[in-house]
Structure 1
Amino acid sequence: MKRRILDTPGTWWVRERVDEAAVLVDAEDYYAMFHACAERAQRSILLAGWQFDSEVALLRGDEATGRGEVRLLRFLNQLCERNPALRIHILAWDFSVVSSMEREWLQRVAFDWRTHHNLRFEFDACVIAEGSHHQKFALVDETIAFVGGTDLCDHRWDRRSHREPDELRRDLDGHLYPPYHEVHAYFTGPAVRPLTEFFRRRWASAAGEPLEVSPPPLPLELPMRRGLRLAAREVAIARTEAAGEAGPCEEIRAQLVAAIGAAERLIYAETQYFSARAVEDALVARMRDPSLPILDVIFVIPENTEAFKETVAVGVSQARLIERVRRVAGETGHHVGFYVTVAPGASKEGHDVATYIHSKVMVVDDRFLSLGSANLANRSMGVDTEINVAFEADGADSEASIRAVRVSLLAEHLGARDEELPELRDTHGLVARLDAACRARTHRLRFFAGKDPSAEDPVLSVVHAGLSQYLDPETPMLEAAVESPAAWGDMLARSVARLRELFGR
């Protein structure tokens, strides 16, 4: 009998029953379902996120026709005006100066001063110095929870076709932006209650006042059902918190490491970043265990980082980790593929247009599924606040539903036809078949180049040597470093050592 991954100690915070659950692929479905449920909210809407934008449109094109206000803040404000009993509370990360150019100007004015008095907005600064509140979840009437990697903000909306260009995929300035891939989940039932209590604790900490959430007088009937249904009876919720109520909390790290160690056939992952040493070490250890079967390991990642600071923080480390994983796979006979996906039929100046991967997903042997806000990055394992949900199969039906999610995701990235789906269901030799498709360029999947961006950039090499451990740390260290002259000296020494390597003296 296979060992259940979630029976490993420390791999979850809450395991609770769900009445129904589904995976929402790409923001079109998540935004539409959130909008429909929020329209019917009777007493409460609770939103926690890394970023919000007041003017982002939740519905677009024909779906927005006849639906009234669809821009986020105006929509929420309208709900309060229609229903005096409704209370809406929004918690957003009180972002650092490094992220200020990515945020809406005068956001507190937009969300707090120009809205109905029943709509409350708070910046949450209750996080360690170098951390961020990266959790993304929404709760409606204590009935339905939306949890995943998608913020209600600009530059996230896309649909599963990822056409390029798509006239509906425009930012708040009216500019077209490239394809963008997201994954979220929803569930109903008793598992929603612990998340409500979790939000209440965060609100009390950030706002300095208690939050009372009134139950709805009538059960919320889901107005629509979208996404890929999961035949799940329970969900396991896991967190990362560097400064939790009972000390550091690293349930997500423990869960992913346990899942990798238990893999027998397949590991499938989508991640915005791959720089987590804990994940790399777990994968290398699993591949080097000669008593266990050969694996097919698939990573779908972005073609490039979005900004220079991300290249410094994770881009160089990611390239080096990928090189090590590929080398160990070659030594041990495992099959590993790192891929990017491109928009169908699109070309920009003779080159493919890549879909940006913002999702955070791991599937193991089609019997375990984890998704949420946590990237496979060091800071997501021990510094930022994160929240993931996991589903583990307890029978043939639940395993089939997890497999259907994995196949659907891979089919989207590959651009697979219906008659090709059986080949995606079969995990044996899957990496070899994907590699063949990449070489033939008959589909939308491409090999990830995986070059170290610092190899030909001396400035980046020096900056990375000095700052990377502070920009993508495994554990909190910035506060101590600021107060420690030795830490500043260590940072300078690493930079000088790298300069000497580059110039041969």
Structure 2
Amino acid sequence: MALIVDAADYFRVLRQIILAAERELLFIGWDFDFEIEMLPGESDSDGLAPDGFPNQLGAFLEAAVEQAPDLHVYLLKWNGAVIAAPGRLMPTVALSVFGSDRIHFALDGHHPFGACHHQKIAVADDKLAFCGGIDATEDRWDTSEHLPDDPRRVRKDGSPSEPWHDATSALTGPVASALAELSRKRWHRATGDTLKRPASTPADIWPDDLDVDAKDVDVAIARTEPPYDGEPLINEIEQLYIGSIEAATDTIYIESQYFASETVCAALEKRLREQDGPEIVVINPEAALSQLEDDAMHVLRGRMIDRLRAADHQDRFRIFYPVTAKGDPIYVHAKIMITDASILRLGSSNLNDRSMGFDTECDVAVEGPEALITGFRARLLSEHLGVSPEVFEEALQKENLLIGAIESLNSPKGRGLRRIDPRPDGIIGGFLANTRLLDPRYRPGQETSAGQGVRPRHLALIAGGALVGGLAFLAWQKWRGGGPRS
């Protein structure tokens, strides 16, 4: 097992695994952008990376298939991503239609309306699997230094991309085979096609330059799958979160894109009300990626912060966002929870209701060894605080408390962590928070028809409201006698 932080390291290792695969590559993802450069700033005049293969993801996959005559590549992408990022559709169609007939692409619509296929899995030859939070798409690439104004951190149109923090895992052994089987089942549900397990290959494909963080450990796979086609809800991830929170004795460390899950908040609130319960540290982004997302998710976050601070009678709760050396916010996309020195969970699930019972998610978890778990926590926090892991461990030993160690190293200027406070609800934010229209979930025992969320009737109401509002505005302008103004 290896734990990989930030997409610069992940994309570099992923290229090595793609080139080493002989039979089958499975990619199960929220989105793929086949025009991204996997190693930004490293292309030569012909668009080749230092390994001699095309730097762009789509061309790289075609070249990998061309040099491996028995290799088939399967790419399964959430169908809603086509709407979320329509500009990526044409490169996808081009790869599917004009690329190798051994590259197979499909859109996954096997979920209730409004739900999202959110798993982020890649498996090579049933031998090595990646499972975590990193998508092979635009805006994900960054180094762990999160350098201000890094010229490599740029979109295809030349505009700068914001600093981005993320994480994934690399796994071999039975868990890699199990993740491959999960991926093949997902492909079958989405397409109706059954993929056979590939013939075994003798080669060891673990990259030489990827440090092994642990060997011979038991790994759990936890899933969220909404009820669909008569199948019941699977909420193993929710159970894993709550069980880990209940078992914690000293510390609960969380990194998540959101902080809005009702059941997880209730479990944390209960622990804060205890006498001498665990410290709780949450790392979140400062703001969401859009105003609508901010209204939908961070109003809920603010309410949960208020609840937890009210329950925190021993000053054991903190929620921060990380910043660069210039003080710019770093967007947190990682999905991690570490409890004490015993349990590490990492995957695709966020701390919102969707990830507990609406979207399709996949996490992995290990219980021990202690050195792996405490070392990874030190690795993450030292990155956020701009110090070495050794310096962080020294501060932790001195302070004997996680919050004390963080605050002793947290500089008020430059790289560090900044406090998150609730924001006013606002009309739209209050409505979205009260209804959880964009953060719905199913409960155990609920059928798909009983679910909540954005339904066709909601879209019709939104469209109708926009039309009525537009007509009313034009009528008002005409009444004023001015007509539309620029």
Report the CA distance shift for 1:482/1:51 in structure 2 as closer, same or farther (over 3 A): closer
Structure 2 equivalent of residue 338 of structure 1:
319
Match of 1:136 in 2: 120
Q: CA deviation at 1:123?
A: 0.2
Note closer, same or farther for the CA distance 1:232–1:265 as it changes in structure 2 (3 Å cut).
Answer: farther
Correspondence 1:458 to 2:419: no
Q: 1:326 aligns with which of 305, 309, 316?
A: 309
Match for residue 469 of structure 1?
A: 436
Equivalent positions of 1:349-498 (< 5 A) are: 352-393=327-368, 398-417=369-388, 420-426=391-397, 428-438=400-410, 440-441=411-412, 444-454=415-425, 457-462=426-431, 464-465=433-434, 468-475=435-442, 477=450
Task: Report if aligned partners of 1:411, 1:424 keep a CA contact under 8 Å in 2.
Answer: no
Q: Which ranges of structure 1 fall in alignment gaps of 5 or more residues?
A: 1-20, 347-351, 493-505
What is the Cα deviation at residue 57 of structure 1? Answer: 1.6
1:294–1:334: 8 Å Cα contact kept in structure 2?
no
1:134-283 to 2 correspondences below 5 Å: 134-226=118-210, 229-243=213-227, 246-283=231-268
Question: Does the Cα contact within 8 Å between 2:440 and 2:452 map onto a contact in 1?
Answer: no
Deviates more, 1:51-60 or 1:144-153: 51-60
Residue deviations 1:397-440 (CA, integer Å, cap 9, x gap): x20121110001000001014662224544733213433554x5
Aligned partner letter, 2:177: R
- C-alpha separation in 2, matches of 1:165 and 1:306: 18
Over the aligned positions, Cα root-mean-square deviation in angstroms equals: 2.5
Task: Give 2:74's match in structure 1, choosing from 89, 99, 102.
Answer: 89
Percent identity over the alignment?
30
Match of 1:250, as an amino acid? N
The code of the aligned residue for 2:95 comes to F
In the alignment, does 2:297 pair up with 1:314? yes
- TM-score of the superposed pair, with normalisation by structure 1: 0.83
Contact persistence 2:245–2:339 (CA under 8 A)? yes
Does residue 300 of the first structure (1) align with residue 300 of the second (2)?
no
Please tell me whether residue 58 in structure 1 is matched to residue 58 in structure 2: no
Distance of aligned partners of 1:105 and 1:258 in 2 relative to their CA distance in 1, 3 Å threshold: same
TM-score norm. by structure 2 comes to 0.86
Cα deviation, residue 133, structure 1:
0.4
Q: Secondary structure at the match of 1:446?
A: strand
Structure 2 gaps of 5+ residues are: 44-48, 443-447, 466-486
Q: Which amino acid aligns with 1:383?
A: F
Residues 53, 63 of structure 2: 8 Å contact kept: no
Paired with 1:232 and 1:217, the residues of 2 have a C-alpha distance of: 21
**Matched residue, 2:107:** 123
Counterpart Cα distance in 1 of 2:374 and 2:32: 32
Higher relative contact order (CA 8 A, sep 6+): 1
What residue in structure 2 maps to residue 5 of structure 1?
Answer: none
Deviation at 1:391, TM superposition (A): 0.8
Greater shift, 215-224 or 138-147, is seen at: 215-224
Quote the offset at 1:194 in angstroms.
Answer: 1.6
Q: In the alignment, is the contact (CA less than 8 A) between 2:269 and 2:308 conserved in 1?
A: yes
- Residue 287 of structure 1 corresponds to 272
TM-aligned CA distance change 1:463 to 1:275, over 3 Å: closer
